[in-house]
């Protein structure tokens, strides 16, 4: 295998880890309350802007930017839950879709208004530049994003399967009336789920900002990938999103290299549709 | 002496009559539709376009005698229509050809604009101008370069900018000169986004180069909305072309700049076809990572005190950035349209169309470095021209070719970061 091909695959894995990172929040919300958050891509965008503001004000990188983004987005997640989601959940499916879609536009154009349409970036060497491993170039910023993706996935998985908070959240997801009879308040559990999902998304945004461009419309570009990742991984499955993200990243990279960049989406989406044909619940989703 | 007094009186009388006429025309405004990407991925370009049009309107509607021979600058409003003011109705094309088309329809049928201007992306100019053609409303474009736009036999479409084939010719002559100077240019790679703009420009460059014995060794098409360009950069790294020509919008151009540095890839020579690489926000974000890139331009800010310098100052107040080539071409397009309306002395579409056809502007009446503005039967400006610029000192492009218009010599090899 040529060293360039190894580079392509390594690049694909790191890209896939990033896909997984910003998809985990979306899959969590779905798993908890069967709501598709169309504003998800714009949550990522907000995380990026928080990282940018933190860097502009204090000159520090994602080590501070990511926790701040997590905090800001978690707060936003709670506000969104009580201000919007709780009411639209009682409405028809269409209201849920349009509600979060409207939220997406509100966030996008607020940022547009506040920061302008210009593209921005964080300095290239904010996270240690690029290093060589046996002739393979690895960007520290992407590696950091990849490692955090693994940690966030592991963290969310442990939270849901090993803690009493996780059990309570899953109980609400399964049957909120029954959970209520057991003394669990569905409202708080779902608000917590939104806070955690939004926080994870904020961290993702803050890390992606270190190697991507920042613009009000960036959520559109990233949002679509998140939806594909989540449905391939299985709606509601956090480890599923990780595997799916890595898979999509590698398939995209290799097909773009071998066949051509304009064909990579054709390859990814036809494989995706074929897969859903045989396994509509996704890689690790429940039937 | 007496005669002079009489003459003076007559002059004063005629001025006051003219002023009175102007006053009565104050409430008359000429509405022009301006379609630009004010949201979506190209919003940065659209916002700059809006600032350029607003600057042009300021120049037209207020007296600016300091701007020399620039038509419509001296007096306030359009003299040909009794001092009528110009108003632009901006419409957002959202980066979508379908939306651009709907906006053109809305501007014509509901806003009753007398002419249209826009729409940045070639693919959207294509659909929007089809509507104006149907309704018989003049459409003047200042910036879209896809060749196909003026090959449709349209009667109402006029384009002021040089087109892809002009630029391809410039690139070709430039590369031949570089070759004569000892630079290797035999192995050329084209990297282009895959909508109307990138595809058609790449197609034209390929055929012009082929006709002149320069082959394109590698052709990489990609989607401008992509999340990742590592594989494309690795394809280049694999084939090692002598020259890489980038035909990109802004977001993708930024990704290429960042990815090339991350993967440590530098071609010996890199060129860009305007668009993304001319966006001021690209220079601000990754300018330091693409040092030495060549680009095309037809605009330079000029020495302090010159009309283009003063216009740049006005523009800068609105947008916060210097006037770049794209925004300047948009502004020029708008001036050409307003000049035609002024000469038509009417807002009737046929009259404006006839005036556009009769346009014959000289270089000193332009803000761009064109040889003039004169349209052929297809509506294309046959006097449009351009030059090669290079990003040399961090933040600014300087003219480097052809020699007679160069400020400094081209610096090679490509420096990158």
The DSSP bridge partners found for residue B272 are: B246
* Residue A256 sits at the chain B interface (C-beta within 8 Å): yes
pLDDT tens, residue by residue, A85-102: 999 988 888 888 899 999
A277 to chain B nearest CA, in Å? 26
Residue of B nearest to A111 (CA): B39
Which pLDDT belongs to residue A79?
96
Contact criterion met (CB < 8 Å) for B254 and A119: yes
**Which of the residue ranges A24-28, A64-68, A181-185, A232-236 has the most confident prediction, judged by mean pLDDT?**
A64-68
| Domains of chain B in sequence order | 18-162+302-365 (3.40.50.2300), 165-297+387-405 (3.40.50.2300)
Indicate the pTM of the whole model: 0.83
Alpha carbon distance B92, B118 (integer Å): 10
Residue in the block written with tokens 């992606």? A208
The DSSP line for B328-376 is HHHHHHHHHHHHHHHHHTS--HHHHHHHHHT--B-GGG-SS--S-B-B-
Q: What is the mean pLDDT of residues A163-177?
A: 88
A187 to chain B nearest CA, in Å? 36
* Residue B198 sits at the chain A interface (C-beta within 8 Å): no
Which pLDDT belongs to residue B386?
86
> Taking each helix axis from N to C terminus, what angle separates B43-61 and B325-344, rounded to the nearest 10 degrees?
40
Work out whether strand B188-193 and strand B29-36 pair parallel, antiparallel, or are unpaired. unpaired
Structure tokens at B173: 């002559």
Contact criterion met (CB < 8 Å) for B285 and A119: yes
Rounded to a whole number of angstroms, the distance between the first and last alpha carbons of chain B is 72
Contact criterion met (CB < 8 Å) for B232 and A256: yes
ipTM of the complex: 0.89
Residue of B nearest to A136 (CA): B263
Which pLDDT belongs to residue A170?
86
pLDDT band at A287 (very low <50, low <70, confident <90, very high): low
Alpha carbon distance B82, A4 (integer Å): 68
Q: How many CB pairs below 8 Å do chains A and B form together?
A: 117
Q: What is the mean pLDDT of residues A226-249?
A: 90
For A48-168, list the strands marked E by DSSP.
130-133, 136-139
pLDDT of B52 above 90? yes
pLDDT of A223 above 50? yes
CATH architecture of A3-278: Orthogonal Bundle (1.10)
The DSSP bridge partners found for residue B245 are: B190, B271
- From the list B44, B194, B231, the residue facing A118 with the nearest CB is B44
Neighbours of B391 (CB within 10 A): 24
Neighbours of B31 (CB within 10 A): 15
Contact criterion met (CB < 8 Å) for A119 and B262: no
Nearest alpha carbon to residue B417 among A262, A226, A129, A69: A129
Residue of B nearest to A250 (CA): B231
pLDDT of B6 above 60? no
pLDDT of A208 above 60? yes
Contact criterion met (CB < 8 Å) for A116 and B47: yes
Residue in the block written with tokens 């039937």? A287
pLDDT of B116 above 70? yes
Nearest alpha carbon to residue B95 among B35, B48, B52: B35
* Spans of all domains in chain A: 3-278
Please state, rounded to an integer, the average pLDDT across all residues of chain B: 89
* Residue A223 sits at the chain B interface (C-beta within 8 Å): no
Alpha carbon distance A134, A142 (integer Å): 18
Best mutation target, A18, A140, A143, A217, to test chain B (most B CBs within 10 A): A217
Structure tokens at A236: 């509601």
pLDDT tens, residue by residue, A121-152: 998 888 878 888 888 889 999 999 999 989 99
Q: What is the mean pLDDT of residues B28-45?
A: 91
Which pLDDT belongs to residue B23?
43
Please state, rounded to an integer, the average pLDDT across all residues of chain A: 90
Rounded to a whole number of angstroms, the distance between the first and last alpha carbons of chain A is 39
pLDDT of B7 above 80? no
pLDDT tens, residue by residue, B188-232: 999 999 988 899 899 999 999 999 988 899 999 999 888 899 999
């Amino acid at each position: 295998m040529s060293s360039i091909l190894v580079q392509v695959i390594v690049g694909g894995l790191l890209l896939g880890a990033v896909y997984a990172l910003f998809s985990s929040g979306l899959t969590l919300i779905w798993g908890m309350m069967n709501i598709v958050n169309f504003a998800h891509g714009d949550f990522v965008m907000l995380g990026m802007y928080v990282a940018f503001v933190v860097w502009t004000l204090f000159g520090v990188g994602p080590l501070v930017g990511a926790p701040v983004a997590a905090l800001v987005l978690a707060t936003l997640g709670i506000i969104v839950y009580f201000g919007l989601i709780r009411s639209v959940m009682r409405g028809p499916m269409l209201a849920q879709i349009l509600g979060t879609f409207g939220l997406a536009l509100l966030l996008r154009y607020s940022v547009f208004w506040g920061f302008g349409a210009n593209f921005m970036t964080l300095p290239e060497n904010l996270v240690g530049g690029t290093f060589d491993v046996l002739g393979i170039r690895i960007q520290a910023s992407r590696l950091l994003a990849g490692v955090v993706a693994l940690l966030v996935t592991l963290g969310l998985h442990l939270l849901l399967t090993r803690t009493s908070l996780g059990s309570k959240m899953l109980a609400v997801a399964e049957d909120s009336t029954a959970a209520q009879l057991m003394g669990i308040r569905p409202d708080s559990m779902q608000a917590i789920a939104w806070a955690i999902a939004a926080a994870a998304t904020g961290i993702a945004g803050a890390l992606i900002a270190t190697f991507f461009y920042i613009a009000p419309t960036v959520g559109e570009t990233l949002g679509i990938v998140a939806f594909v990742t989540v449905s391939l991984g299985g709606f509601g499955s956090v480890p599923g999103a990780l595997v799916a993200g890595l898979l999509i990243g590698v398939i995209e990279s290799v097909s773009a290299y071998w066949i051509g960049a304009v064909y990579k989406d054709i390859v990814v989406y036809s494989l995706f549709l074929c897969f859903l044909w045989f396994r509509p619940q996704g890689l690790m989703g429940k039937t | 002496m007496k005669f002079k007094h009489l003459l003076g009186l007559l002059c004063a009388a005629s001025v006051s009559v003219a002023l009175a006429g102007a006053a009565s025309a104050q409430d008359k405004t000429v509405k022009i539709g301006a379609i630009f990407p004010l949201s979506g991925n190209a919003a940065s370009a659209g916002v700059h376009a809006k600032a350029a049009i607003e600057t042009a309107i300021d120049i037209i509607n207020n007296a600016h005698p300091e701007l020399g021979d620039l038509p419509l600058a001296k007096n306030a409003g359009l003299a040909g229509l009794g001092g009528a003011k110009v108003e632009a109705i901006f419409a957002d094309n959202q980066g979508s050809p379908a939306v651009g088309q709907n906006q053109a329809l809305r501007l014509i049928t509901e806003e009753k604009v007398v002419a249209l201007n826009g729409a940045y992306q070639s693919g959207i100019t294509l659909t929007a101008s089809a509507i104006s053609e149907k309704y018989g409303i003049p459409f003047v474009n200042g910036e879209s370069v896809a060749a196909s736009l003026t090959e449709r036999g349209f009667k109402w479409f006029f384009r002021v900018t040089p087109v892809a084939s002009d630029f391809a010719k410039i690139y070709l002559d430039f590369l031949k000169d570089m070759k004569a100077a000892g630079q290797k240019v035999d192995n050329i790679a084209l990297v282009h986004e895959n909508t109307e703009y990138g595809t058609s420009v790449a197609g034209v460059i390929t055929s012009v180069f082929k006709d002149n014995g320069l082959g394109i060794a590698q052709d990489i098409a990609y989607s401008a909305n992509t999340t990742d360009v590592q594989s494309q950069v690795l394809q280049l790294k694999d084939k090692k072309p002598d020259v890489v020509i980038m035909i990109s919008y802004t977001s993708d151009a930024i990704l290429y700049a960042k990815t090339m540095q991350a993967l440590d890839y530098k071609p010996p020579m890199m060129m860009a076809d305007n668009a993304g690489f001319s966006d001021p926000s690209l220079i601000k974000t990754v300018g330091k990572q693409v040092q030495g890139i060549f680009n095309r331009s037809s605009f330079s800010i000029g020495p302090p005190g010159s009309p283009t310098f003063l216009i740049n100052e006005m523009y800068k107040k609105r947008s916060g950035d210097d006037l770049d080539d794209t925004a300047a071409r948009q502004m020029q397009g708008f001036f050409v349209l307003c000049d035609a309306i002024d000469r038509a002395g009417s807002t009737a579409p046929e009259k404006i169309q006839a005036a556009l056809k009769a346009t014959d502007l000289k270089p000193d009446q332009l803000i761009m470095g064109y040889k003039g503005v004169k349209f052929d039967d297809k509506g294309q400006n046959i006097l449009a021209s351009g030059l090669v610029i290079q990003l040399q000192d961090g933040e600014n492009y300087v003219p480097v070719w052809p020699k007679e218009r160069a400020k400094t010599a081209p610096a090679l090899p490509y420096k990158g970061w």
